[in-house]
């Protein structure tokens, strides 16, 4: 079934007339200036993004993966160091650790909130531990206070993986402003997209921002010509994607409110006892970048929804430690009972700002009717 025939699509990226006009403006300006990499659009977006996230610095990069990787380099994570994180995440979180030749150490998750458990992080700390990557999964905030206390006690770098949580909050603090640094993603499925890959590094530490800024542009500081200070990469976002982000950013808060409205409709409307809707942690302002339900008949329900023209997704068919690449690189078996119990049951429902109330009701009705028949 093509996307044009879906009664309820899974995602609908934001592309407005203003977006199209901004791209044309950047193309015309680039013809005159020759600047398409790091220029005025990038600077404007970084300044506005930093204000939105309540941090001192935002450094744009080509992806959220690169933001994670660059942050670990800036934190001087070395081969053999251990970095504690979760297995319920996109593989990029783990990839970044491997890419600096460090060792990922996995802690299990909360059974209702899906986020890493601070008590289990504490048990995982060794003399080799140098960093923690708490993942604000699906838009839900990790319980950060105990994480930050552990980091202070053991002198650990805290890198928030906020790739699914732009605009979310932990208590009164903005997600991404709490740790030493944070990574954002602007992939098309995120709540701010640049219509392709994109990312950013958030931090209140000037030293981290300066290193990441050099890493993204061949080891040189912005506007410093060919003065290369460190070994770098080409991780630049580019002016066109920064321009698209500039158009989208003012809408994010409203979009998050709409996502929360849709989540409430699902929560109130799905009546079957065969499904479990996600719960919002008491300390979290959940932005529902993805809306996950649990059901032991996931494949059957998904097939029924597909027949009815409703597109869904299985975000993570396997946890990271269940992937072939884990055995290839780590050669160790991991026991994460909560993660392993939840993974086979999680189904992602459509949840994007332009989803209509009628479409949400249709999804709810289809789920409820499926289980009535069964």
Domain boundary among 226, 249, 272: 249
Instruction: Note the pLDDT of residue 38.
Output: 81
Query: The domain spanning residue 329 has which CATH number?
Result: 3.90.1150.10
Instruction: Note the pLDDT of residue 223.
Output: 72
Instruction: Note the pLDDT of residue 255.
Output: 97
pLDDT averaged per 10 residues in sequence order, the chain, 374 residues: 76 92 90 80 96 98 97 97 98 97 97 98 98 98 98 98 98 98 96 94 97 94 84 93 96 98 98 93 97 96 96 96 92 90 97 97 96 76
Instruction: Note the pLDDT of residue 374.
Output: 62
Q: Do 150 and 224 fall within a single domain? A: yes
The mean of the pLDDT values for the chain is 94
pLDDT tens figures, 105-144: 999 999 999 999 999 999 999 999 999 999 999 999 999 9
Q: Do 268 and 125 fall within a single domain? A: no
- List b or e across 67-89, with b for residues whose CB sees 16 or more CB atoms inside 10 angstroms: bbbbbbbbbebeeebbbbbbbbb
Domain boundary among 231, 249, 267: 249
Instruction: Note the pLDDT of residue 333.
Output: 81
What's the first-to-final CA gap in the chain, in angstroms? 25
Instruction: Note the pLDDT of residue 2.
Output: 47
Q: Do 334 and 270 fall within a single domain? A: yes
User: Torsions phi, psi of 15, nearest 5?
Assistant: -140, 100
Domain extent at residue 239:
17-249
Question: In whole angstroms, how large is the CA radius of gyration of the chain?
Answer: 21
Distance CA 35, CA 325 (A): 39
Residues 6 or more apart whose Cβ sits within 8 Å of residue 131: 72, 75, 77, 81, 83, 84, 102, 156, 157, 158, 159
Query: The domain spanning residue 200 has which CATH number?
Result: 3.40.640.10
Structurally, the chain folds into a number of domains equal to 2
Q: Do 129 and 28 fall within a single domain? A: yes
Q: Do 157 and 213 fall within a single domain? A: yes
Q: Is residue 11 part of a domain?
A: no
Q: Is residue 236 part of a domain?
A: yes
Beta strands in 33-135 (DSSP E): 57-61, 82-85, 103-106, 129-132
Q: Is residue 7 part of a domain?
A: no
Task: Classify strands 284-285 and 169-170 as parallel, antiparallel or unpaired.
Answer: antiparallel
Distance CA 307, CA 299 (A): 12
Instruction: Note the pLDDT of residue 4.
Output: 57
Q: Do 101 and 134 fall within a single domain? A: yes
């Amino acid at each position: 079934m093509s996307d044009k025939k879906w009664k309820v699509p899974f995602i609908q990226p934001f592309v407005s007339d203003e977006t199209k006009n901004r791209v044309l403006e950047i193309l015309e300006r680039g013809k005159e200036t020759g600047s398409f990499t790091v220029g005025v659009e990038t600077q404007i977006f970084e300044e506005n993004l930093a204000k939105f996230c309540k941090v001192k610095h935002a450094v744009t990069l080509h992806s959220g993966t690169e933001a994670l990787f660059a942050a670990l380099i800036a934190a001087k994570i070395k081969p053999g160091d251990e970095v504690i994180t979760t297995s319920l995440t996109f593989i990029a979180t783990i990839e970044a650790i491997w890419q600096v030749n460090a060792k990922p150490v996995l802690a299990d998750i909360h059974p209702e909130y899906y986020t890493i458990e601070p008590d289990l992080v504490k048990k995982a700390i060794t003399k080799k531990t140098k960093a923690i990557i708490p993942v604000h999964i699906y838009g839900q905030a990790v319980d950060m206070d105990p994480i930050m206390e552990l980091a202070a006690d053991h002198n650990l770098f805290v890198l928030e993986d906020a790739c699914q949580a732009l605009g979310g909050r932990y208590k009164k603090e903005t997600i991404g402003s709490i740790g030493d640094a944070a990574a954002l993603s602007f992939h098309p499925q995120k709540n701010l997209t640049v219509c392709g890959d994109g990312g950013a590094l958030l931090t209140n530490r000037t030293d981290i921002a300066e290193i990441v800024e050099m890493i993204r542009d061949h080891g040189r500081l912005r506007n410093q010509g060919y003065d290369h200070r460190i070994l770098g990469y080409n991780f630049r976002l580019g002016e066109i994607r920064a321009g698209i982000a500039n158009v989208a950013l003012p809408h994010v808060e409203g979009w998050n409110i709409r996502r929360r409205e849709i989540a409430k409709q699902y929560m109130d409307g799905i009546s079957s006892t065969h499904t479990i809707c996600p719960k919002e942690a008491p300390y979290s302002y959940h932005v529902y970048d993805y809306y996950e339900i649990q059901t032991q008949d996931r494949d059957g329900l998904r097939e029924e929804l597909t027949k009815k023209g409703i597109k869904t997704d299985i975000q993570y068919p396997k946890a990271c430690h269940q992937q072939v690449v884990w055995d290839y690189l780590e050669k160790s078996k991991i026991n994460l009972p909560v993660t392993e119990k939840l993974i086979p049951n999680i189904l992602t429902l459509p949840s994007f700002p332009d989803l209509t109330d009628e479409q949400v009701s249709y999804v709810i009705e289809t789920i409820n009717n499926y289980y009535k028949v069964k």
